[in-house]
Amino acid sequence: MVTILTGTDRIGSRSSEIALILKGLYDELKAPAEIMELRDVGLTDLEPKHYGEGKPAKIEKAVDHLLKSDGLHLVVPEYNGSMPGALKLFIDHWKFPDSFEHRAVSFVGLGGRFGALRPVEHLQQVFGYRNSFIYPDRVFLTDIWTTLKDGELQDETAMALLKDQTQGFCRFIQALKGEKLLGSTPS
């Protein structure tokens, strides 16, 4: 199962609309996928004492769900030239190293002129540093205010790229699973 994680907790987020488009593409492929909304994982329950062990139940549940996923498909908007702070806060509360180590991750960025190139490349560093398997074909949705209308992408090329990405990510996961590389240390 793939978890599609929205990279912001903003109400009315376009990332949520992109996540729904991805979910539709996985459904077309009959590939199990679930959306995890960042605003629903319990970030507001977190206190400074919660780094490490003893996290609030809602956060534990969300992190455990990620651990059970075969792949993580992240939808990341650009906020102030970076990833949203809410996403980094969530990531900093994941189980280490299990949540990252040899896990399959794919990225969609959305934003203005650069389509969230900066946060996606920074996240590639974060996940690469933590030994994840990064699917190489990233998708950048530029000028998102005009590209996305009423939950639909107006740009056929962008839609085709998302379709290719979901198909390719499924094959990537299957190949890693076939070789028993997911979540384990390659010998």
Query: Rule CB under 6 A: which residues touch ligand FMN?
Result: 8, 10, 13-15, 77-81, 110-112, 144
Q: Residue 38 or 182: which CB sits closer to ligand FMN?
A: 38
CB of 57 to ligand FMN, least distance (A): 26
The region that residue 121 occupies, defined by phi over 0 for left and psi between -120 and 50 for alpha, beta otherwise, is alpha
Taking Cα atoms as reference points, which of 143, 141, 43, 58 lies closest to residue 92? Answer: 43
The span from the CA of 183 to the CA of 61, in Å, is 19
Q: How far is the CB of 147 from ligand FMN (least distance, A)?
A: 10
Q: Determine phi and psi for 126, rounding to 5 degrees.
A: -60, -50
The backbone torsions φ and ψ at residue 51, rounded to the nearest 5 degrees and listed phi first, read -65, 140
Taking the complex as a whole, how short is the minimal distance between the CB of residue 76 and ligand FMN, in angstroms? 9
Percentages of the chain per state (helix, strand, coil), in multiples of 5? 45, 20, 35
Judged by CB, which is closer to ligand FMN: 151, or 186?
151
What's the min distance (Å) between Cβ of 122 and ligand FMN? 12
47 token code pair: 């206190």
Is the CB of 146 or the CB of 187 nearer to ligand FMN? Answer: 146
Shortest distance (Å) from residue 141 CB to ligand FMN? 9
Rounded CA-CA distance 131/100 in Å is 6
Q: Which two tokens stand for residue 138?
A: 């990233």
Q: Which is nearer to ligand FMN, 46 or 83 (CB)?
A: 83
Q: Which is nearer to ligand FMN, 31 or 162 (CB)?
A: 162
